[in-house]
Amino acid sequence: MDSISNMLIVIKNGSKVGKESVVLPYSKMKQAILECLKKEGYVSNISKKTLKEQSVLEVVLVYVDKKPKISEVERISKQSRRVYFGVKDIHRVRNGSGLLVLSTPKGILSGKDARKEQVGGEALFRVW
């Protein structure tokens, strides 16, 4: 299975059942994506730890009025089909209440930051 999709589903399911934090296997790509989500306020804290001689990421989830900030996730670019957005293709998600995450030449960026930087890239997923 796709490791990014797996990470997103673990976060979504963890927040829906009311967990305070979730633990994910470590990778640099996942850490960069989580830093982007943290910057936009979808997760509150990320820490790299070692469990049983294996690196993991512990992600503290965010709730607003006891409702999870992340309620839905839509994977755009998959292993079987890559989807690329130019700067003109980047639009707001759910009238600004969601977030688009892209992999660009300048790193992992939100749709808002990518438009500001004037770069396009591979559209990874939408979250709201």
Domain architecture of the chain: domains with CATH: 3-127 (3.30.1490.10)
How much is the mean pLDDT over the chain? 95
Residue 45 pLDDT level (bands cut at 50, 70, 90): very high
Give 20-42 pLDDT, tens digit per residue. 999 999 999 999 999 999 999 99
Measured N-to-C along each axis, helices 28-39 and 3-16 cross at an angle, to the nearest 10 degrees, of 40
Q: How far apart are CA 5 and CA 77, in angstroms?
A: 10
Give mean pLDDT, residues 57-62.
97
